Amino acid sequence: MNCITLTVDAIIPYAGKIVLIKRKNEPYRNYYALPGGIVEYGETVESAVLREVKEETGLEGQIHSIVGVYSDPKRDPRGHFVSICFIVLPKGGELRSGSDAKEIALFSLNKLPRLAFDHEKMIKDAEARLHGILSQV
Question: Hey, what domains does the chain have and what are their CATH numbers?
Answer: 5-134 (3.90.79.10)
Question: To 5 degrees, how large is the angle CA 80–CA 43–CA 49?
Answer: 70
103 in active site: yes
Burial of 51 (0-12, 13-18, 19+ CB in 10 A): middle
Please check the confidence at residue 1 and state whether its pLDDT lies above 70: no
Closest CA to 87 of 122, 58, 113, 54: 122
Residue pLDDT, tens place only, 29-76: 999 999 999 999 999 999 999 999 999 999 999 999 999 999 999 999
> 90-112: buried (b, 16+ CB within 10 Å) or exposed (e) per residue?
beeeeeebeebbeebeeeebeeb
Set 43, 52, 55, 103: catalytic member: 103
Residue pLDDT, tens place only, 117-127: 999 999 999 99
